[in-house]
Amino acid sequence: MKRFRLTLEQLRSGAVRVAPRGELDLEHAYTFDEELRKVEDGRPPCIVLDLRELGFVDSCGIARLPAARRRARRAGRRLLLVRGPRGIQRLLALTAVNEAFEIVGDVPSELRDQPAAATS
């Protein structure tokens, strides 16, 4: 069994990249959700869920994605998915979860490179 890890990266634009690695399954789905909620509490303008290092997702893990999308929509926050491996993408398509998301191949350069706007 692969371990689950979560990488959080603050991007120059103020967005946060959240990158799960390993297996997002029953054992780890709610830990993922808790950590994602902590990121949301910081009110970033955008959260990028980077699925490239995800090896497996079960129904509990996949259910966390639409839940995150609903919270982002309510908060007026942009939520992006970075396309994962072929098997993960196939699962997202079969469950129609992919239809609710903006899906990209990589973290957009405007999020990586743009400094956050200054606040007064």
| Cα 94 from Cα 41, distance rounded (Å) | 31
- Contacts of 76 by beta carbon, 8 Å cutoff, 6+ apart: none
Please list the pLDDT of the chain residue by residue as tens digits (120 residues): 468 999 999 999 999 999 999 999 999 999 999 999 999 999 999 999 999 999 999 999 999 999 999 999 999 999 999 999 999 999 999 999 999 999 999 999 999 887 665 443
What is the value of pTM for the model shown? Answer: 0.90
β-strands 102-104, 16-24: how paired? unpaired
Q: 64: which strand partners?
A: none
- Contacts of 14 by beta carbon, 8 Å cutoff, 6+ apart: 44, 45, 46, 116, 117
Q: What was the pLDDT predicted at 113? A: 83
Q: What fold characterizes domain 5-107?
A: Transcription Regulator spoIIAA (3.30.750)
Mean pLDDT of the chain: 93
